[in-house]
Chain A
Amino acid sequence: MLNFLERKMGTHKSNPRCRQVQETLSAYVEGDLTAPENHRIAAHIDSCLDCRSEEKLMRQAVGLLAAPRELTPHGDLYVRFDAKLAESMAPRWYSRPSLRWAGTLACLVLVVGVGATVVQQRYANRAPVTTIAPDTNHSAIEPNVQGSNLGNGRTVPLEPNNKVEPDNIANGTEIHQEPRMVDQAPSVPNTSYSSNPKRLPNRKQGQGAPSEFMDVRDATGMTAREKIESSRPISEDLSNGIPKNVRSQSGQVEFHREHVPGAPRVTVIATHRDDATPTGNGISKVRTDTGYDSNGDLALIRIQTEPGRSTDTVRPPDDNNR
């Protein structure tokens, strides 16, 4: 009864003597204590029911632990050992120098291949920038190799190198062209050919022009293909005098007689007024081929127009030479 009350009130655990016994109980059960210690613990256990109960539990537990038990492993233990040993002794594939180098090389090839593919796809997704500029020999579409940073629809000045070659002008008269503003095809993405020379179109007219460029519509709403088809030469016989107006497919051709002082012949200058831009810069002239008969007289002028070239201007001839 007293022990029950002690337990309920927690005095057993808080009793210093009981606590000391608890701390040495396993050694007592094992017989590891000295004789005086052993005698003291035994005396307390005889007088304390709780410690006696604890001692009984400890003996049961230790007795269970100390019960004879010898387990025998399965007969395949050596087989397992042998298999694990063989596995641990087997050479790894990466431990062989040749395979290690082969693996490294394969990884390198893979990386280079993937990188090349990525770069190729990146540039393949870019469409080249083109500008449609008049050609001194013929209407043509040529890439703007200088304007790689242009956006759609922007204009850039070109170099004033569009002098008409003397062989195209009779009597050595030159027609000077002002520096031009060239429209960029609006629907063409901002990409330079220079970044991918393989995609540069053939600059010869009518040869090798990629079909996507031929079908791009510019500000005039015409495609390059349509322009080429519509820029067929207009021929006029001048033997009966110079006509005043000749209708081209996309505008009106006006003729002017021009004579440079000292020059042996009079030159006929033809300008083209584009229907799309009839005023201002709409006056354009692309090319004239002047022919002469056997007497050296002006016989034929062939005009090739390039419709839609609103920025292609020609300096008007001097009226004094008419």
Chain B
Amino acid sequence: MGKMPGGSFTLATGASIKGEHVATGDVDGILITRFLSGDRSAFDTLFAKYQDYVYNIVYGIVGKSDDAHDVTSEVFVQIYRSLSTFRAGSRFATWLYRIAINRAVDSARSTRSRKWFPIDDATNQIPDSRENPAQVVGRQADRDAIQQVLMMVPVQHRDVLVLRYYQDLSIEEIAEVVGCSIAAAKVRLHRARLHFKEKYVELFGTENGHTQI
């Protein structure tokens, strides 16, 4: 199982009264039910739980820190306003990731005319203080390289790469989030990898990979 916080849970469909989702044993379901009952703090808990996941997906697709923050906040606004329409029996994380992917792809397409890569954005992230400086610099270089190559990959292939490698989702989970069959998800992922490799070679050459930066 990948980095799906709610991945191991499925909303129980046991009781649904007036559209409310009563999910026994399901943390997300309980939070949703509390929120729909008027408890704003339940939504704040969902926000705190998923903000990093959503932000990483969005950033992987839009490639710009400021845009990623904006889109992430818009995703949660959409979640907040449409949570009452969330179907019981669905997985909240899948629904959330789908919204995040769609929003991020829309944003990336709207700014596709920008050919430059915001290299300073990647360095604008908050490093993990537990790492030593050398590790931080090395990982930062990797992040820059990944994002630089990823931004050269077509948007329709970028999302599956982000879900697979940023979120460690399985093929089945990717198919669920993207809304296609498992076979189609495999094909998309394969083409996305080929695209990524081509752009990687195009950008860094055939030797030593990203160390040529």
Contacts and interface: CB of A to CB of B under 8 A. Distances in A.
Contacts of A72: 52, 55, 125-126, 128
Interface in B18-58: 44, 47, 51-52, 55-56
B114 interface: no
B194 A73 contact: no
Interface string B77-88: 100110000000
B97 interface: no
Interface string A55-89: 00110111011111111111011101101110011
B139 A71 contact: no
A27 interface: yes
A232 B171 CA distance: 114
A64 B145 contact: yes
Interface residues of A, number: 34
B161 interface: yes
Contact of A53 (B73, B206, B210): B206
A140 to B, nearest CB: 78
Contacts of A61: 149, 193, 196-197, 200-201, 209
A73 B52 contact: yes
A230 interface: no
Nearest to A62: B193
B interface bracket (residues with beta carbon within 8 Å of A):
35 or more
A81 B73 contact: yes
Contact of B142 (A23, A62, A69, A70): A69
A162 interface: no
Nearest to B146: A64
Contacts, number: 111
Count chain B CB atoms within 10 A of each CB in A60, A68, A69, A76 and give the residue with the most. A69
A64 B55 contact: no
Given A57-B201, A77-B69, A69 B77 contact: no
Contact of A77 (B72, B171, B186, B196): B72
Contacts of B126: 71-72, 74
Contact of B73 (A32, A57, A65, A84): A84
A88 B146 contact: no
A187 interface: no
B55 A77 contact: yes
Interface of B: 44, 47, 51-52, 55-56, 59, 68-70, 72-74, 76-77, 80-81, 125-126, 128, 139, 142-143, 145-146, 149, 161, 164-166, 171, 186, 189-190, 193-194, 196-197, 200-201, 206, 209-210
25 contacts: A26-B193, A27-B186, A29-B193, A30-B193, A57-B197, A57-B200, A60-B200, A61-B201, A64-B142, A65-B164, A66-B165, A71-B59, A71-B125, A71-B126, A73-B51, A74-B126, A77-B69, A77-B73, A78-B44, A78-B47, A78-B51, A81-B72, A84-B74, A85-B76, A88-B81
